[in-house]
Amino acid sequence: MTVADVRLLTSPFDPADELAGFAASHPAAGGIVSFTGQVRCDAEAGGVEALELRHYDPLTLPGMGALAESVLGRWDLEGLLIVHRSGILFPGDPIVLVAAAARHRRDAFAATDFAMDHLKSESWFWKREKSGGSWRWIEPRSEDFEDIRRWQ
């Protein structure tokens, strides 16, 4: 039975190290698809100085675990990795890493895409951005709900 590796981190992580370890753990997989989300360095957006992710301990990690279980129930995977940051992040810092290892690539692509869409629109994280020295909460975007409807 495939067991997912799901972690909520409050300190920086290295996606390359995580992926190397994940690949080494799943030699039977013919392919690994991964997605890394990072804090934008976007001068046009007013130069975001920092991003803070808040979570709620009783719900956030259990919710990520439930998502991982639904991914494993839906696709035939050798392994699934979900790593998500909480806390204060700076431009260029990795926020999230999802990786799926499968015998066949289509399962790995679809599982990663599904996991990201659901992490974004359903997991218990609240974000705020710092720009011009002040913090501003980020409200949900309608695109996130449209992304998730693709899977229903």
Partner 1 sequence: MALRLVFLGRLEDIAGCGDREVPLADSIDAVFDALEPELAAALRADRVKLAVNGVLLRDRDAPILRDGDELAFLPPVSGGAP
**Closer to partner 1 at the Cβ: 76 or 143?**
143
CB 109 within 8 A of CB 70: no
**Region of 13-21, 71-79, 103-111, 114-122 interacting with partner 1 (CB under 8 A):** 114-122
Q: How far apart are CA 137 and CA 127, in angstroms?
A: 6
State which H helix or E strand residue 135 sits in: strand 134-137
Helix, strand or coil, per DSSP, at residue 73:
helix
**Region of 12-20, 23-31, 56-64, 104-112 interacting with partner 1 (CB under 8 A):** 56-64
Number of residues binding to partner 1, judged by CB under 8 A: 25
CA-based nearest residue to 6, from 77, 64, 54: 64
**Closer to partner 1 at the Cβ: 20 or 135?**
135
Using the rule CB under 8 A, is 137 a contact of partner 1? Answer: yes
CB atoms within 10 A of CB 109: 16
Using the rule CB under 8 A, is 58 a contact of partner 1? Answer: yes
CA-based nearest residue to 41, from 94, 91, 89, 90: 91
**Region of 8-16, 35-43, 71-79, 99-107 interacting with partner 1 (CB under 8 A):** 35-43
Residue ranges binding partner 1 (CB under 8 A): 37-38, 40, 54, 56-59, 95-96, 120-127, 137-141, 143-144
